[in-house]
Structure 1
């Protein structure tokens, strides 16, 4: 990955500066002419650096407390944990420090930070964690580069494409923000700059528009992948579908929260997607009835189910042999009433 990252940065810097790398000349015995040419070359290189035509890239060891994450990066920094950074943490410990440098740029006028990370968010998080957990001298290794925002975005995007732990939703929302910020809402221009298919980029931007209250139905935003996410985004083009999906998503999100609280496994992503995509059918119903609400305890045994819901009232069944106490039954009943209310089948006053 170190070589890839170096190549990415070199390509971006070369593009920004308009300077093409020349192949290294064959080694020959030094002559007076070659020494003169070398000196002239050095003078020329220094002059180009001084004039700003060539921008230097410097590698430093930084205090991670003085470095922040660039907001244009795709990764959801708040979702990083010891668990999902464990492999990287162990690698840094085993190697005696961070071997693959991050890419940062200098910040001016900020009293709290000197640099911001363009590529290397997980490395920054891991070094901070190590300094707080028995490795107080661990330093953050980074290349300092001069990049404008659009070049920084392209560099971060190139690195994130090689990262399996950056979700499709993270990238999609990053693209949606960059579309306005860097490309004036021109998808074709953005696709050309990023070397992406226009059709693929269009799908990503649609997925990015899925609202947070719908994403909350999934156990984690990382479960929202492009193909199923695009199907969901397409369904939400219909206002009637959007209303139904949003209501069902709220119900599923509450169920997910209850499962986490009870220590039960989360509802799988494929089941969540199915419930969202069939939300309108569930609310309207072929027989005029909503899909039955079922509550199971942590062992998978049924505790309560809604048998019917209509103008005359709601019929609820309490299952024998579930082992549930009164408190859990009351909790299940409250969940059923909330479900019926949010799907438009609640008890009318």
Structure 2
């Protein structure tokens, strides 16, 4: 009987969620705030629905451990930590539960866990963390919804699009998987469904398609931005340049690992980008050019030209000049013709 009631409530919730999806897809977005506004409106409507208890459809209180996170969710689940969710954990602990309900689907009867989490990964993590850290009585407030995967993906995208702990690369990879899984490989269909322009979606998909060596050259995945793929992707399309860039990316990746092992500051993203782009420059322009590097960061370059050598240098005011001049001298000697 309870299962039948859950299913009926799920159908009603599905209608409610479809209305939200339709409304948020067609409401005019405010400049620079459209995505965050959509997230705010989603949270407000979920809270309003839960508090109204329309036709008895009150949220269920379920164990966080009873929810398997849906594999179509773009969030990197291992990336959730007590530190990144600290404010939410404190809020839930103070209020005795999550005010904004999570959305779940019923799993098939033979599944290991009874529920599949669609929206609310951070809320589920916070409740689970509190369960294991002094608050075992807390339960996850959740609404059961019966909806197809494509609608679930759009809803999860609205919730996750502006979360600070979801990086561009994670979002891009989720879109890359979704375009085939939910939209038959047709980018224009996906762009329309997510209220994105075709160019916005293309830039994200290009990020997901960067070679693993290039991705690993950056200190963290969070440092790899969509705008970087716009600069690197055209260079990677030419075989000779691609080979040079990947070779440089492997070198940078090895340097990053060495720096991390020594607990030193890693090469910043701007320097990584500059080195990758330099590696893709035509070989005849590169001959004799030598980068000037201090603590893993490129601060200048010695260039060869018809009139001799030219030194480009950009140093901080507090830099150790003796050390800088020593590196410049070494680079000049390396750039001199044999």
TM norm structure 2: 0.67
**Structure 2 matches for 1:11-22, cutoff 5 A?**
12-14=17-19
Where does residue 269 of structure 1 map in the other structure? 269
SS at match of 1:61: strand
SS at match of 1:143: strand
- Once the two structures are superposed, residues 179-201 of structure 1 have per-residue CA deviations (whole angstroms, 9 ceiling, x without a partner) of 10111111111112222111111
**8 Å Cα contact 2:235/2:242 also seen in 1:** yes
Where does residue 315 of structure 2 map in the other structure? none
In 2, Cα distance between equivalents of 1:112 and 1:106: 12
Unaligned runs of 5+ in 2: 1-12, 23-54, 298-321, 324-338
Where does residue 232 of structure 1 map in the other structure? 232
**Structure 2 matches for 1:72-221, cutoff 5 A?**
72-221=72-221
**8 Å Cα contact 2:14/2:146 also seen in 1:** no
Where does residue 65 of structure 1 map in the other structure? 65
**Structure 2 matches for 1:335-346, cutoff 5 A?**
none
In 2, Cα distance between equivalents of 1:82 and 1:212: 29
TM norm structure 1: 0.65
Q: 1:260 to 1:135 in 2, by over 3 A?
A: farther
- Once the two structures are superposed, residues 176-231 of structure 1 have per-residue CA deviations (whole angstroms, 9 ceiling, x without a partner) of 11110111111111112222111111111111111333211112211222222322
Shift of 1:266: 2.2
Q: In terms of Rg, which structure is larger?
A: 1
C-alpha root-mean-square deviation of aligned residues, in Å? Answer: 3.0
Q: 1:271 to 1:118 in 2, by over 3 A?
A: same
Where does residue 251 of structure 1 map in the other structure? 251
In 1, Cα distance between equivalents of 2:177 and 2:16: 24
In 2, Cα distance between equivalents of 1:253 and 1:207: 18
Q: Report 1 or 2 for greater relative contact order, CA contacts < 8 Å, sequence distance ≥ 6.
A: 2
Q: 1:56 to 1:95 in 2, by over 3 A?
A: closer
